[in-house]
Amino acid sequence: MLVFAVFAPFVAALFAPLLTRRLGARAGWPLALAFVPAFALALFVPAALSGAPATGELVWVPGLNLSLAFRADGFSLLFALLVAAMGVLVTVYATSYLGEGERHGRFYGLLLLFAGAMLGLVLADNLYALFAFWELTSVASFLLIGFWDDREAAQDGAVKALVVTAAGGLALLVAVILLSLAGGSVNLSELDVAAVRGSPSFAPLLGLLLFAALTKSAQLPFHLWLPTAMEAPTPISAFLHSATMVKAGIVLLAKFAPLFAATFWSDGLL
């Protein structure tokens, strides 16, 4: 169910161009059904609250023992349901917002691509999968912000967003590598927190995670990309910059909260 909830929007994105050829902007109605599996994750709330979160795994590269592992704890479920709810509202709203001359297939395809990346980000347990979905949100947001490619302001906003969030993505990649080496696992739930805390890379690692979170959430002094990103179509601004993408930094800090606890950053961040 977890794997299905994450990848349903990706599958729907593939069909978006075909549906929009027949239905135009109204294709948003059937495409909104891609979020139904994410809503079904509410069934896992009782298990998460009882301390037994559901898990799911999709083998990625068997020879390297790499897999896409997902974990539905209470915090992840909260944000997954938030992404699903906002995804449905924005997709349905777009059916009335988009004009006849718009590229409907591109719009819905990118919107669903971003939604799937956000669901993967909040539910990911594998560190490298978390990084991959993190970067995919940056790429999708770049394309969505610059959706109106005949507007110079939109292109400027897209480039600014990509440059800032990509810098944060590089920081996250280094942090993920250090974490997997120091913690003895590539899965977040299996990390040896004590070993990570005792590692010489502990302080730089926290700094890298904090940098990544601040860039994605447009916090001072990395906030300059956010105002120009509002040149995107209204549904995109509502989905990316008011409801979901800017929450990614909060999700990241919450996922790594055990590392930040009892440090000099803990009072200000957690």
pLDDT tens digit string along 95-118?
A: 999 988 889 999 999 999 999 999
Rounded Cα distance between 95 and 263, Å, is: 48
In sign, the C-alpha dihedral spanning 42, 47, 51, 56 is negative
Which residue, among 226, 224, 222, 217, has the nearest Cα to 252 in the 3D structure? 217
Of 115, 162, 159, the residue nearest 135 (C-alpha): 162
Q: Both tokens of residue 126?
A: 């594998």
Question: Phi, psi at residue 200, to the nearest 5°?
Answer: -60, -20
Tell me if 209 sits within 8 A of 252, measured CB to CB. Answer: yes
User: What average pLDDT does range 16-41 have in this prediction?
Assistant: 96
Which residues, in sequence order, are bridge partners of residue 126? 187
Q: Residue 257 in contact with residue 270, Cβ under 8 Å?
A: yes
Asked which of 63-67, 185-189, 195-199 is least confident by mean pLDDT, the reply is 63-67
Mean of the pLDDT values across residues 146-156? 91
Pick the closest to residue 239 from 133, 128, 93, 130 (CA basis): 93
Lowest mean pLDDT among 25-29, 155-159, 167-171, 222-226: 222-226
Q: Give the Cα separation of 264 and 105 in Å (integer).
A: 48
Whole-angstrom Cα distance, residue 218 to residue 214?
Answer: 6
Predicted TM-score of the model (pTM) = 0.94
Of the candidates 16, 78, 84, which has an alpha carbon nearest to the alpha carbon of residue 53?
78
The answer to whether residue 149 scores a pLDDT higher than 90 is no
pLDDT-wise least confident of 62-66, 100-104, 216-220, 253-257: 62-66
pLDDT higher for 263 or 3? 3
Per-residue pLDDT at 53: 94
Give residue 4's pLDDT: 95
Q: CB-based burial of residue 133 (10 Å sphere; 0-12 exposed, 13-18 middle, 19+ buried)?
A: buried
Q: Which pLDDT does position 55 carry in this prediction?
A: 93
Looking at residue 247, what is its pLDDT? 84
pLDDT at 264 over 60: no
**Averaged over 148-170, what is the pLDDT?**
93
More confident residue, 246 or 213: 213
Q: Give the pLDDT mean for 197-206.
A: 91
Smallest CA-to-CA distance from 69 within 143, 123, 8 is with 123
pLDDT at 221: 86
Using pLDDT thresholds of 50, 70 and 90, give the confidence band for residue 224: confident
pLDDT at 229 over 80: yes
